[in-house]
Structure 1
Amino acid sequence: MIVGIVKEPEEESRVAMLPEAVKTLKSWNVEVMVETGAGKKAFADDALYQESGAEIVDRSTLLQKVDIVCGIQALSIAEIRSMGPKSVLMGQFNALYNPELTHFLIHESRTAFSMELVPRTTRAQSMDVLSSMATVVGYKAVLMAANLLPRFFPMFMTAAGTITPSRVLILGAGVAGLQAIATAKRLGATVFAFDVRQAAKEEVMSLGAKFVEVEGATDDKSAGGYAVEQNEDFIHRQKEAIHEQATKADVVITTAQIPGKKAPLLIEERTVLAMKPGAVVIDLAASSGGNCALTQADQTVSINGVSIVGVGNLAAQLPQDASKMYGKNYLNFLKLIIKEGQMNLNFEDDIVSGTCVCHEGKPVNSRITQMINN
């Protein structure tokens, strides 16, 4: 059996697995092929993969010969057609929001696993690429804000007087939000955080931040840790509370997203116009519409002296550790479907079935099936 690691598109600096993962696969009696230059941007050159036991090949050879193709970004339709008919495709394809690709995989009788579909359960935590990458993004967002902010994060007592600490507001206390809180606190800021989930309050306070509480939120424990849509009365009170906090903040980092829907609008235009000149907004939900009314995806704009950053693929800015984490998630998942050096797809396993877009052209994940039927 052969596992292949492909080189990502030009704009992506991560790689699905680093050389250390190759050693693990080899210990499972699995052969590994790596596309030439796949790990270069993550500071893993071809020689390191070869030392770990991988064979370095061109893209065409890899796609035709391997049993499992491992990547991050989706391959093109032409490349998928060039793969062996029984080979398995793995990556992070956003299958629920990329119907063209999903329909193609089904029409071509392919078997594909999309890693963002990994169930958000305790057993699957070690395979959850969304949580891993959210950790990277939350950390990096704070560093980006610190670079843009025209003042210090921590308090300084100097001969020239005392510099008060910056005030940071984190909207959404999921994995990315909690990492942002921890990083901002380490940098010495005063941190406030908001989340509609009451369960987040204890986690926020344990990191030393102050929880901004708005009563009356709908909290769906079955939503896998994500926020859920709220009623109009709560949304109005939420916006007023956020407006009050944001206008006092030096930095606002927004992380709120609802799977399958446009990101909730948390920062209105009036709020931006009332914020301090020099303040910074880092919108981590930019790709799904943005939490800020004035966010522009993949761009930084200045409105009335406030910098608004519409973050794109922020995880790619820390390619070495992001790739390390991604690869570990991959290995933990591959352990479920590789037994004694051979592929063994057990769809009775909820993680295997939950992550599978389709098997030999038949939809497997229940949400994919619903999407196809609609």
Structure 2
Amino acid sequence: MEAILLRQGAYCVNRCFRGFLKTSCVRFAATTATATFSKTRSEGLRIGVPKEMFPNEKRVSLTPNAVKTLTGKGFSLIVQAGAGVSAQYPDSDYVKAGAKLIESGAKDLYAQSDVVLKVRSPLIDKEVNLLNTNSTLISMVYPAQNKELVDKLAERKITLLALDCIPRISRAQAFDVLSSMANIAGYKAVIEAASHYSNFFAGQITAAGRIPPAKVLVVGGGVAGLSAVATARGLGATVRAFDTREAVREQVESLGAEFLTIQFKEAGEGGGGYAKEMSKEFLDAEMALFAKQAKEVDIIITSALIPGKPAPKLITKVSTSYTFVHAHRRVSGSPI
């Protein structure tokens, strides 16, 4: 199961990378918003695919199929040995696709790369200084939350194309790695919860009696939350969901789940359809709802997220400790 998810995740990410390199796109540059590649033609442009250094990161930025496509366009691909092994892509597949394998480590790969493709943002203490001055980095960076990283990249005159800054509009859907990864995260959250749940997820009717299905609460109705709702419903659970945006109700109910509300009127939708930060009064009412729901449900999955902000902590120690003591089989998910 994990291998399938990793390959799917790699496919979603590398599809975006291919699109970036083949067409013009919205760019976030560490130095200037109009920064461009130092080389305007694909011929001779060296693209590096390093092995991710972030702890427990098993994804890879390009699959062998994507490498084959890019080499066919005239790009030179160099891949660090072992970059795709954790995602079930052996080094031999990259070599067959036309990439040059770098076995001497990340330092040599970065030194030879005009463009570096990564899944995670570079680690400040390990990877930033490996990037060539005036080179290009294509990666998820979250600049609003990583100002120090952006400043370090600017000091090295790195052109940064932040995948997470692409607007969610129809013509940019091919580059939307946030939605594709969130979809996988929501699915995986339910699978992980089901593996910890000590009863039948879908319930059972036997000669000895009836076992009710699991009750699942999903907090947040974005891409990850809706994916979790759909997956839990598909496995036979009874699902409830909450979101600050009333517009999400129709989507939740169309998946067969119950949409929870609170007796407090406040618009929860910000710019671009995303959720926004709510008032203290709304949050207090929200927390009271979660404390009540925690006594009733078997599994809680949180997926609430506000762009450019840390994930909100919506399930308190008071709620979770009471939940665990009350029923002895609860799974509380961290923000996705």
> Identity over aligned residues, as a percent?
39
1:244 matched residue in structure 2: 292
Contact kept? 1:174, 1:225, Cα under 8 Å: no
Secondary structure in 2 matching 1:199: helix
Secondary structure in 2 matching 1:90: strand
Q: How many residues align?
A: 285
Aligned CA distance change for structure 1 residues 255 and 63 (closer, same or farther; 3 Å) = same
1:277 aligned to which of 327, 331, 335: 327
Taking only aligned residues, the RMSD between alpha carbons, in angstroms, comes to 2.0
Distance in 1 (alpha carbons) for counterparts of 2:137 and 2:316: 41
Distance in 2 (alpha carbons) for counterparts of 1:284 and 1:128: 23
What letter is aligned with 2:248?
A
1:97-148 deviation per Cα after TM superposition (whole angstroms, max 9, x unaligned): 2222211111222211222222222322221222111111111111111111
2:210 matched residue in structure 1: 162
Cα shift at 1:270 = 3.3
Contact kept? 2:197, 2:331, Cα under 8 Å: no
Residue 216, structure 1, aligned to residue 265, structure 2: yes
Cα shift at 1:277 = 2.2
What letter is aligned with 1:50?
V
What letter is aligned with 2:290?
I
What letter is aligned with 2:184?
V
1:343 matched residue in structure 2: none
Bigger relative contact order (CA 8 A; separation at least 6): 1
Secondary structure in 1 matching 2:246: coil
Contact kept? 2:134, 2:157, Cα under 8 Å: no
Contact kept? 1:150, 1:278, Cα under 8 Å: no
Cα shift at 1:225 = 4.0
Distance in 1 (alpha carbons) for counterparts of 2:99 and 2:52: 18
2:51 aligned to which of 7, 10, 18: 7
Distance in 2 (alpha carbons) for counterparts of 1:136 and 1:225: 21
2:311 aligned to which of 257, 263, 270: 263
Comparing 31-40 and 1-10, the one that deviates more? 1-10
Flag as ranges the 4+ runs of structure 1 deviating above 6 A: none
Distance in 2 (alpha carbons) for counterparts of 1:11 and 1:264: 23
Cα shift at 1:21 = 0.9
2:90 aligned to which of 37, 42, 45: 45
Distance in 2 (alpha carbons) for counterparts of 1:242 and 1:82: 46
Residue 66, structure 1, aligned to residue 116, structure 2: no
Contact kept? 2:135, 2:157, Cα under 8 Å: no
What letter is aligned with 2:60?
V
Structure with the higher strand share, 1 or 2: 1
Comparing 52-61 and 134-143, the one that deviates more? 52-61
Residue 116, structure 1, aligned to residue 160, structure 2: no
Cα shift at 1:76 = 4.3
Aligned CA distance change for structure 1 residues 48 and 106 (closer, same or farther; 3 Å) = same
Aligned CA distance change for structure 1 residues 216 and 185 (closer, same or farther; 3 Å) = same
What letter is aligned with 1:139?
Y
Distance in 2 (alpha carbons) for counterparts of 1:284 and 1:17: 28
Distance in 1 (alpha carbons) for counterparts of 2:268 and 2:254: 20
Contact kept? 1:141, 1:282, Cα under 8 Å: no
